[in-house]
A and B are shown apart, each in its own frame.
Chain A
Amino acid sequence: AQTVTQSQPEMSVQEAETVTLSCTYDTSESDYYLFWYKQPPSRQMILVIRQEAYKQQNATENRFSVNFQKAAKSFSLKISDSQLGDAAMYFCAHGTSYGKLTFGQGTILTVHP
């Protein structure tokens, strides 16, 4: 079984600053993916970034990047140049075969102008 833990229920950042959201996981799988999803008040689940566990290089998507530490089972999300539109709930998730995802509890990100 997999578990995903997000230890920061809430985080805040000033507009244009950088913020890092933490995530740790436990897994018995040898092949898996890790994801960060964004959920704005509209309730949509929006994929922010994904990381293949077999890749050592950290994934990046524009202002979003991850710090993947496989041995430590850590997968943090860094948001650079934060924007007001980044305010949302962020979920870390572990993915296995057949499209099954295990989610963390979520981190609410507030962006102050």
Chain B
Amino acid sequence: NAGVTQTPKFQVLKTGQSMTLQCAQDMNHEYMSWYRQDPGMGLRLIHYSVGAGITDQGEVPNGYNVSRSTTEDFPLRLLSAAPSQTSVYFCASSPRGGYSNQPQHFGDGTRLSIL
């Protein structure tokens, strides 16, 4: 199994550009989420989804959009990139089924730099 696949692994953007970070999982997990990791601050939740067609905001949602049209995919969109969005982004998934299924599977991360 591939697990959680994120693309691209690295990206450099100019301020104002838009882009989509891709996330796909092949484990049929219902829960998916996006985190950003900044130095000294740990990972913070951006958006999450509990199933196809259902998304909600996390701790730091401003400047990001998400959609979940299929169980497998959960893309993160930056509509107008800002230098403050320079970070490492992680996608994660976990199965439904109560707290016994809490462990999250993480992708390898995308390092995004906004100039």
User: What residues of chain A have their CB less than 8 Å away from a CB belonging to chain B?
Assistant: 4, 6, 31-33, 35, 42-45, 47, 50, 52, 91, 93, 95, 97-106
**Is B50 interfacial (CB-CB < 8 Å)?**
yes
- Within 8 Å by CB of A105, from B41, B92, B102, lies B41
Query: Known: A45-B106, A47-B103. Is A100-B41 also a contact (CB below 8 A)?
Result: no
CB distance from B51 to the nearest CB of A (A): 10
- Secondary structure of the B contact surface, majority rule: strand
Complex Cα distance A35/B59, Å? 19
A99 pairs with B109, CB closer than 8 A: no
Query: Known: A43-B108, A45-B106, A91-B43. Is A100-B48 also a contact (CB below 8 A)?
Result: yes
- Within 8 Å by CB of B45, from A44, A52, A91, A101, lies A101
Complex Cα distance A21/B102, Å? 22
Residue of B nearest to A46 (CB): B106
B1-56, CB < 8 A from A: 31-33, 35, 40-45, 48, 50
**Is B104 interfacial (CB-CB < 8 Å)?**
yes
A99 pairs with B44, CB closer than 8 A: no
User: Considering residues A35, A100, A103, A104, which has the most beta carbons from chain B within 10 angstroms of its beta carbon?
Assistant: A100
CB distance from A46 to the nearest CB of B (A): 8
A105 pairs with B99, CB closer than 8 A: no
B91-115, CB < 8 A from A: 92-94, 99-100, 102-104, 106, 108-109
User: Considering residues A99, A101, A103, which has the most beta carbons from chain B within 10 angstroms of its beta carbon?
Assistant: A99
CB distance from B98 to the nearest CB of A (A): 9
A100 pairs with B58, CB closer than 8 A: yes
- Within 8 Å by CB of B93, from A95, A99, A100, A105, lies A99
B42 pairs with A104, CB closer than 8 A: yes
B94 pairs with A106, CB closer than 8 A: no
A91 pairs with B48, CB closer than 8 A: no
**Is B78 interfacial (CB-CB < 8 Å)?**
no
Besides the known contacts A45-B106, A47-B104, 13 further A-B residue pairs in the complex with CB atoms under 8 A apart: A33-B99, A43-B88, A45-B90, A45-B104, A50-B102, A50-B103, A52-B99, A95-B104, A98-B50, A99-B92, A99-B102, A100-B45, A101-B35
